[in-house]
Amino acid sequence: MREAREDQMFARLAAVSALFLTLVAPAAAQQKYPSKNIDLIIPFAVGGGVDLIGRAIGASLGEQLATNVVVINRDGAAGTLGFGQLASAAPDGHTLGFGPSTPIANAPYLVSGVRYTASSFEYICQVFENVFTIAVGPNSKFRTAQDLLAAAKQKPEGLTFGHSGLGSIPHLSVENFADALKVKVQHLPFRGDGAMLPVLLKGDLDFGAPAVSSIRGNDTIRPLVMFSDKRHPAYPDVPTAKELGVTTSVPPGQNGLFATKGIPAEVKTALERGCANAVKSEQVLRVTGNTGQSIAYMDSAAFEAQTLADYKFKGELIRRLGLKPQ
């Protein structure tokens, strides 16, 4: 009789233990992050400034989170292919994106078939602001901004220029520049500066609109105009668009870390902490400095608010310029 009671007691204890494990095991599994490699989508080709800085951020995150961060360059369609892949990824924090906010704030107005919105993402942090320039290759006949403008006024069909994607900051900056100075331009979109610069160097474009981070240290490319409020410290002799008479400016590109909407709160917190630490790491500071950029950190809330405000501004600018979706 005693043995039967003991058997019943052990059976009950076993059942309670099994129920406890059933309840706590999923919670424990959810708390373990990361549980595998993290994919970091960069929506431009290899070799541009965004790619280089993004790789440095990924390496720092990998060290902090004790995992491998695998960079995936998903370029094309003005960055919307990469952001589209991020938007449709599982919301577990194992797929992240690094790049400009322009595929969210600009491209939906101009790129047909975009299937995400600004609410499709978690905004982890802003890392840097990308300043863009009008630049020419080594064999260009244009030595100054005045040379380029004089040629543009003599060419009714417009000079050709390359940029990193339809609706990108450099695309809108040049269109705004040309509109203000009453000249025509013909734009040719590329899959990032890494794809555009070789064409510019060959002389197949009249000029390009690369990021300063993509041409820093390349003495064969000559910047002629800066799209910034003040002259760039790396190119103090290059005038700003404002100095040339352009009163309305397109803000620089806000570049940062993104995740799929709906990731667990503790995962987002870990990523926010990791990003805040990464921007202070020696590796990220070195790469950022080498590309002619500086850290312009924003936390999650500020980065999201800035992007949503930028989305509204870009819509008004695109309508004013008369640009249409393609």
CATH of the domain at 43: 3.40.190.150
Rg (CA), the chain: 24
Is 117 within a domain?
yes
Do residue 67 and residue 206 come from a single domain? no
- For residue 36, the model assigns a pLDDT of 97
Task: Examine the domain organization and report whether 125 and 261 are in the same domain.
Answer: yes
Q: Which two tokens stand for residue 47?
A: 């070799």
Are both 144 and 226 inside the same structural domain? Answer: yes
> Which of 211, 244, 277 is the last residue in one of the domains?
244
Cβ-contact 193, 214 below 8 angstroms:
yes
Do 259 and 214 belong to one domain? no
From the list 48, 98, 102, 43, the residue with the least C-alpha distance to 215 is: 48
Domain of 215, in residue numbers: 132-244
User: Where do we find the tokens 């002799």?
Assistant: 237
- 145 in any annotated domain: yes
Per-residue pLDDT tens for 227-278? 988 898 889 999 999 999 998 888 888 999 999 999 999 999 999 999 999 9
Profile the chain (326 residues) by mean pLDDT over runs of 10 residues: 47 43 44 93 90 97 97 92 97 97 90 91 95 96 97 95 90 94 95 92 97 88 94 93 90 93 98 98 94 91 94 89 85
Amino acid letter, residue 198: P
**Do 287 and 216 reside in the same domain of the chain?**
no
Confidence (pLDDT) at 250: 86
Do 161 and 301 have their domain in common?
Answer: no
165 and 209 housed in the same domain:
yes
| CA dihedral sign, ordered 15, 16, 21, 22 | positive
Q: Rounded to whole angstroms, how far apart are CA atoms 168 and 227?
A: 13
Q: Which amino acid is residue 171, in one-letter code?
A: H
d(CA 132, CA 163): 10
Q: What is the pLDDT of residue 233?
A: 87
Q: pLDDT value at position 321?
A: 86
Residue 214: predicted pLDDT: 87
**Is position 91 within any domain?**
yes
| Residue 25 forms part of a structural domain | yes
Question: Pairing between strand 69-73 and 159-163?
Answer: unpaired
Is residue 234 domain-shared with residue 160, that is, in the same domain?
yes
Q: Report the CATH number that the domain containing residue 149 is assigned in CATH.
A: 3.40.190.10
| Residues 83, 170 share a domain | no
Q: How far is CA 238 from CA 136, 231, 270, in A?
A: 13, 7, 41
Q: Cα–Cα distance between 46 and 272 in angstroms, integer? A: 25
Residue 326 lies in a domain: no
Choose the final residue of a domain: 210, 244, 278: 244
Residue pLDDT, tens place only, 126-150: 999 888 999 999 999 999 999 999 9
pLDDT for res 30? 53
User: How many independent structural domains does the chain possess?
Assistant: 3
Phi, psi of 173 (to 5 degrees): -65, -45
Q: Which residues contact 135 (CB under 8 A, 6 or more apart)?
A: 200, 207, 208, 209, 210, 215, 221, 222, 223, 224
Residue 229 located in a structural domain: yes
The domain boundary, picked from 214, 244, 274, lies at: 244
Question: Does residue 107 share a domain with residue 79?
Answer: yes
Say whether both 22 and 76 belong to one domain. Answer: no
Do 55 and 125 have their domain in common? yes
* Domain contains 101: yes
> Domain for residue 280, yes or no?
yes
